[in-house]
Structure 1
């Protein structure tokens, strides 16, 4: 892959990743097989289209892209659909479009994360307050409702032990590069179609990590319980789901939604993983999977 990628390629990759996530059955989340949590696919499609130009806009850094994308998404969808997606994809987009840097996306990303400053924190904090995610609460240090006194990287480090997205900023997105991308590639080699490979990725992430969104809203015990459910159902989705296991995964989807359990952070990582893959290996046709 030759970097930098153009604004057009990055924007197309973002929209394609969002659509790929919506086409896959992801138990507990919104997708084409089932609405939930007072949202449906159209909310996410509108938000993706609104956010994409800001995610790819080379005139802005990480914080500016986060604020622009979240503001546009909220206006288009009328609710918070993609704060986590934007927080994860903005640094990847900046890395892919940077005029100078290593040939490797992961190393380019490290440079971006190392360069985050107070302005990035101010813009990201404003975006988070605007989106008002469930269970946000407050904090003695790094409180997003107050003007920042530290860089965005330092603020994320304070939350890294309780939030998987914050942890990604500290680890150089290790969950994506070391776990999620290999999971996706392995699933694609044998899946009936790309949507089933993305389902396998979602379930793999859900089984590997307690979901931060569930933990914020319902507590760590609830997140751990959902993780154990995903692990117990491994025969249904590992190495990939099959047509004969589809109904059982739909049952899990309905059960999680009936209990109000939304593994939103897991879905955010699904989008970011597919986006990273498309930045590493752009498609000739944006919508092709």
Structure 2
């Protein structure tokens, strides 16, 4: 069984690695953007960790308390998607074992009406302008179970899609992209960068689609695929950084923020670290 402190540390690590990585269009340590700073995201991770990783709490309470703490600390929506993805993962990790996705499926299947109430309250509090309205009128008590609401939104929102697919896009594509990068010798921020570009190039980003339309999101997806291909052929880090910085500036000049791809990246790094913790807890036991 992993210790609560190990799960907490894994969450903080994932949030920090995402901010350390140069993710074009998103906030990162190389450049702020969209009226938000990298420090706000780091502060959000610090204040939300206690709720996201609180032992024994149900998913809904973790999500709602984490968003309340974030709003109090930074006054804006920096991490709703991150919390929605990471709270079930943290809950699943508490069960131990060597099948994190299997435990996650059990956690998602066991969510009840209180979880739905708390999650929709968190969405209302964060005011993200997208996920909640697509699935349900979040100003009212939820009329349907949480997974039903997520299923209604799944075609339009990649985070909702994870709830009804047992996080398939993270456990298959995201982890594969991260591990492939490590296997070919990528270190530092680069496995996280390649994970982000995997999501951005594989799917039209949900946040971009809501703000700028599906056609523009698809154009960004194709451009991300081109950048990812070029990046894999460049060895020198200064050239890599120039390529990413150029893409980053162009996206931010249009106020394009692929926030969903960033959220999925955090969840992937979190899942990778949790798998490591679970394996090593078993070995040490």
Match among 85, 110, 115 for residue 120 of structure 1: 115
In the alignment, what sits opposite 1:209?
A: 203
Q: Which runs of 5+ in 1 are unaligned?
A: 285-289
Question: Of residues 106, 120, 135 in structure 2, which corresponds to 1:111?
Answer: 106
| Residue pair 2:234, 2:240 contacting (<8 A) in 1 also | no
Return the alpha-carbon distance in structure 1 between the equivalents of residues 139 and 56 of structure 2.
26
Specify which of 142, 149, 153 is matched with residue 155 of structure 1: 149
Give 1 or 2: higher helix fraction: 2
Paired residue for 2:18, among 12, 16, 21? 21
Q: Secondary structure of 2:142's match? A: coil
Cα displacement (A) at 1:129: 0.5
Contact 2:98/2:275 (<8 A) preserved: no
Matched residue, 1:97: 94
Q: Is the 8 A contact 2:178 2:195 kept in 1?
A: yes
Q: Which of 179, 190, 200 is matched with 1:196 structurally?
A: 190
Q: Is the 8 A contact 2:123 2:132 kept in 1?
A: no
Q: Distance in 1 between matches of 2:117 and 2:233?
A: 42
- How many pairs does the alignment contain? 278
Q: After superposition, where does 1:169-184 map in structure 2 within 5 Å? A: 169-184=163-178
Shift of 1:91: 0.5
Q: 2:172, 2:139 → 1: CA distance?
A: 33
Please give the per-residue CA displacement for 1:110-165, whole angstroms capped at 9, x wherever unaligned.
100111111111000000000001345735x6222210122211111110110000
> Residue 31 of structure 1 aligns with which residue?
28
TM-score (norm 2): 0.93
TM-score by length of 1: 0.91
Unaligned runs of 5+ in 2: 281-285
Map Cα deviations across residues 160-212 of structure 1 (whole Å, 9 max, x no partner). Answer: 11000000000000000110001100101224423011111111111001101
- Deviation, 1:68, is 0.6
Which residue pairs with 1:58 in the alignment?
55
CA distance in 1, matches of 2:224, 2:197: 6
Deviation readout 1:46-71 (Å, 9 max, x if unpaired)? 10000000011124100000001111
Question: Which residue of 1 is the match for residue 283 of structure 2?
Answer: none
For 1:88, the equivalent position in structure 2 comes to 85
For residues 19-65 of structure 1, give each alpha carbon's deviation from its aligned partner in whole angstroms, at most 9, with x where no partner exists. Answer: 01111110011111111001111100110000000011124100000
Query: Deviation at 1:6?
Result: 1.9
